């Protein structure tokens, strides 16, 4: 039938072909066979064997998304034609990991890649293609869709020969053994950086193999055992090998993508973006969608009436089988704490915590299986917890997530609890923190990480919503916690003072979390497109726009005093003053609470080092005021500017506070009862490092640039010249007072001169502040620095001191400045 149809439809082509064949028959045969003769279609068909010759009676077959056949050590996929060219999400994870791979921040369960793939037939091959949704024509019927396709050609991850067709020709059989046994970079567990670091030579094929392949109705899970030859492995160095087990998950994405929800930067969400070339905008239109789970009400009518309704498919988290029994209750509470915000969004029982099934209950359960979201408990000395997720790039739908909890992370929380609350909180003054208090801390950390996995980034403005004095009010803290959102980096109430009663010291869920969950997850009836939702979504924001409890502040902000990591309260000077007052009390009692109890100095050393870190954070919060700019995201229909410069008085007070608190030698940090029991030397270096870090941060290109910028918008402003003068005056007050300098002040004054040299000579044409750049060489920066150095040089020349070391020090500074100003002599 096919041949006669061909002849009837193309008679001229057939006639021409016959004439060519007859003509060729009359030619003399050549003595040498051409190497360029194309393979005939018959020889191609010969490559495709009968099904029974490939999938023999020896095959062990597992049926699912694809049929998977195992014959000896070979694996075959039988791919239904119906799923060819359909989008699938491929996620590569490490299932088992050697000690210290990646320096402690990789673990069993770490995702190494996430990509959309589809399987495509081309002639006698099946191609595994990687598909991108970053540039699209959402209207696929638009003419420009053709241009999008040809200008975004999909890379081929692997090409497979077709081994056989199913008996009814509805499926294609390929051999995946070589592909899944090879070192394919796109699905590997070792990045280029790790390969270079550990001097990886190659994959040892004799020690690498496919462990197993399991197929399910919507996904396929592959486990691979790989061993690499490496000159400098992260552990077991004598073996010169790195062995790890990889898990490859491939899941069929929904035929109909979830309706996306357009992102608004005034509410914090993780996002995915596309460039839509078919948009009617006169440009390539960037569409940014929030990342969220697909929650749909079982009873839409009841939901629309305002009743709480269960979702068709709730979010379920399983606990890692390796989770200590004593912690399971707190982990489950942390997961299900999000039920309340989801109720605000109209859903009940939207998120559920479960123990992992036993082998008897589900022999196929695996934490790496992309069907399951798991809170993984990692046996590691790393102190951290993370909440990653994988999502459909077409819509932002979160498909699965794993919360990672590292075993030693509780030690970090115990230490911070002691240091930040120990002055006002007697129960924190111990290395053996009460189990229930530790459990409450873990509960809140798990809830925080689950928040990330639900789509929420850090909201660093949430703690700025509360007045500093409110943190000393027991009733307020019990009702409101210490931030308007659990997603802030506000872990403890370090403001409350000794004698304050009924204080809550640990963070908890806040009003912003309910607001953000409702904004992102509430189904808007009759809104059948992302654009149809915009009016309602905007109205929800405007309702809360003037209430600081519902403000979102980006973690990436380095200039906004409202959005600072580890800060609490709406006045950094006042909050840090309270915090440092508490730290002084803790430092005085630290030996009594640690080494006196353990008869060992290890904990004292560890906690003293962390105490310096806490002190540094408190100081940094005040530094941000200087050259600070408040960022309040809004649309033109809202009153006021997006960016507002911090007032002059606050900036000047901040510089004065810095002089009094950190630049004037904080002798209380050099406690003999501590330092002389943890190290033989280096006491002055610890303090020099702390002071210099904040001096250099204060005297930075970006901060000076923002101060210069204020001249263009403000009637009254704190100028860059005033800041430099105030800093120099305080750092060198001994020059004018005639007082001798101590070791720490000499170090600090040298650091000032070195930083001024950096500002004067660093070869950079542009300095960054926020998202704006300025040309340093053509700005006031060099002139200001040169002028202040010249003035300082004159002051040092005329300085008088009876202290010999101070005199030598001033002579040295004078020579240093002269060399900076006159490098060629």
Domain boundaries, the chain: 51-252, 627-825
Q: What is the rounded average pLDDT of the residues 255-281? A: 91
CB atoms under 10 Å from CB of 32, counted, come to 5
At residue 107, the pLDDT reads 78
Which regions of 726-771 does DSSP assign to beta strands (E)?
766-769
Arithmetic mean of pLDDT over the chain? 90
SS3 658: helix
Asked if residue 531 has pLDDT above 90, the reply is: yes
Kindly state the average pLDDT of the residues 210-227: 94
Highest mean pLDDT among 17-21, 227-231, 283-287, 373-377: 227-231
Q: State the pLDDT at residue 790.
A: 97
Q: Distance between CA atoms of 223 and 214, rounded to whole angstroms?
A: 9
Contacts of 491 by beta carbon, 8 Å cutoff, 6+ apart: 413, 416, 420, 506, 507, 566
3-state helix, strand, coil in the chain (%, to 5): 40, 20, 40
Summarised one tens digit per residue, pLDDT across range 55-101 is 999 999 999 999 999 999 999 999 999 999 999 999 999 988 888 88
pLDDT greater than 80 at residue 402: yes
pLDDT score at 275: 83
Token output for 260: 């996306």
> Tokens at residue 397, please?
């739908």
**Alpha helices by DSSP H, 422-473:** 435-453
φ/ψ (deg, to 5) at 284: -70, 115
Grade residue 772 by pLDDT with cuts at 50, 70 and 90: low
Q: Give residue 143's pLDDT.
A: 80
For the chain, the straight-line distance linking the first and the last C-alpha, in angstroms and rounded, comes to 96
- 3-class secondary structure, 596: helix
What pLDDT is stored for residue 683 in this prediction? 84
pLDDT of residue 263: 97
Instruction: Give residue 236's region: left, alpha or beta (phi > 0; psi -120 to 50).
Output: left
């Amino acid at each position: 039938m096919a041949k006669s149809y061909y002849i009837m439809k193309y008679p001229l082509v057939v006639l021409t072909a016959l004439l060519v064949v007859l003509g060729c028959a009359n030619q003399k045969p050549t003595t040498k066979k051409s190497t360029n003769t194309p393979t005939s279609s018959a020889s191609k068909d010969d490559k495709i064997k009968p099904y029974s010759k490939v999938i023999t009676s020896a095959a062990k077959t597992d049926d699912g998304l694809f049929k998977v056949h195992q014959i000896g050590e070979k694996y075959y996929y039988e791919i239904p034609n119906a799923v060819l060219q359909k989008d699938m999400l491929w996620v590569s994870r490490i299932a088992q990991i050697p000690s210290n791979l990646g320096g402690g921040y990789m673990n069993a369960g770490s995702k190494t890649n996430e990509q959309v793939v589809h399987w495509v037939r081309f002639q006698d091959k099946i191609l595994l293609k990687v598909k991108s949704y970053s540039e699209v024509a959402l209207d696929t019927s638009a003419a420009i869709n053709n241009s999008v396709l040809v200008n975004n050609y999909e890379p081929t991850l692997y090409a497979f020969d077709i081994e056989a067709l199913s008996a009814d020709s509805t499926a294609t059989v390929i051999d995946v053994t070589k592909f899944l046994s090879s070192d394919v970079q796109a699905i590997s567990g070792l990045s280029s950086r790790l390969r270079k670091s550990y001097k990886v030579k190659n994959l040892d094929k004799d020690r690498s193999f496919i462990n197993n392949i399991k197929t399910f109705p919507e996904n396929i899970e592959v486990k691979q055992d790989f061993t690499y030859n490496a000159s400098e492995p992260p552990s077991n160095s004598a073996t010169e090998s790195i062995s790890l087990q990889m898990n490859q998950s491939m899941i069929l994405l929904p035929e109909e993508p979830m309706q996306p929800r357009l992102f608004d930067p005034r509410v914090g969400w993780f996002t995915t973006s596309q460039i839509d070339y078919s948009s009617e905008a006169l440009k390539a239109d960037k569409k940014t969608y929030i990342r969220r789970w697909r929650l749909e009400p079982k009873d839409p009518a009841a939901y629309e009436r305002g009743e709480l309704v269960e979702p068709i498919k709730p979010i379920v988290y399983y606990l890692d089988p390796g989770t200590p029994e004593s912690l399971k209750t707190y982990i489950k509470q942390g997961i299900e704490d999000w039920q309340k915000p989801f109720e605000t969004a109209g859903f009940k029982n939207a998120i559920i915590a479960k123990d992992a099934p036993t082998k008897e209950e589900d022999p196929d359960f695996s934490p790496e299986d992309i069907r399951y979201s798991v809170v993984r408990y990692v046996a590691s000395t790393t102190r951290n917890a993370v909440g990653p997720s994988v999502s459909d790039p077409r819509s932002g739908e979160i498909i699965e997530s794993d919360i990672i909890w590292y075993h030693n992370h509780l030690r970090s929380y115990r230490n911070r609890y002691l240091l930040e609350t120990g002055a006002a909180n007697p129960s924190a003054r111990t290395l053996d923190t009460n189990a229930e208090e530790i459990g409450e801390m873990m509960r809140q950390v798990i809830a925080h990480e689950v928040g990330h996995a639900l789509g929420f980034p850090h909201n660093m403005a949430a703690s700025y919503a509360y007045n500093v004095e409110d943190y000393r009010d027991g009733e307020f803290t019990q009702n409101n916690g210490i931030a308007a959102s659990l997603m802030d980096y506000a872990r403890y109430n370090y403001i409350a003072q000794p004698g304050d009663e009924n204080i809550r010291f640990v963070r908890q869920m806040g009003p912003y979390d309910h607001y953000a969950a409702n904004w992102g997850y509430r189904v808007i009836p009759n809104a059948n497109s992302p654009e149809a939702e915009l009016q309602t979504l905007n109205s929800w924001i405007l309702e809360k726009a003037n209430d600081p409890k519902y403000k979102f502040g980006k973690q990436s902000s380095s200039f906004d005093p409202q959005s600072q990591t580890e800060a609490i309260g709406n006045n950094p000077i006042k909050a840090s003053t309270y915090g440092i007052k508490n730290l002084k009390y803790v430092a005085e009692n630290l030996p009594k609470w640690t080494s006196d109890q353990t008869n060992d100095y290890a904990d004292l050393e560890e906690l003293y080092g962390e105490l310096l870190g806490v002190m540094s954070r408190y100081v940094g919060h005040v530094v941000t005021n200087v050259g600070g700019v408040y960022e309040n995201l809004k649309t033109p229909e809202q009153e006021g500017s997006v960016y507002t410069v911090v007032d002059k008085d606050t900036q000047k007070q901040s510089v004065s506070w810095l002089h009094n608190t950190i630049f004037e030698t904080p002798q209380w940090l050099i406690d003999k009862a501590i330092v002389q029991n943890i190290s033989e030397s280096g006491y002055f270096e610890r303090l020099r490092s702390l002071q210099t870090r904040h001096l250099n941060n204060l005297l930075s290109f970006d901060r000076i640039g923002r101060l210069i910028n204020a001249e263009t918008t403000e009637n009254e402003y704190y100028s860059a010249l005033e800041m430099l003068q105030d800093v120099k005056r305080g750092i060198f007050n001994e020059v004018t007072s005639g007082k001798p300098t101590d070791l720490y002040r000499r170090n600090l004054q040298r650091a000032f001169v070195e930083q001024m040299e950096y500002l004067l000579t660093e070869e950079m044409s542009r300095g960054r502040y926020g998202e704006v750049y300025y040309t340093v060489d053509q700005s006031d920066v060099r002139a200001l620095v040169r002028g202040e150095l010249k003035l300082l040089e004159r002051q040092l020349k005329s300085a008088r001191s009876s202290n010999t070391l101070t005199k030598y020090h001033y002579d040295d500074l004078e020579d240093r400045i002269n060399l900076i100003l006159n490098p060629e002599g």
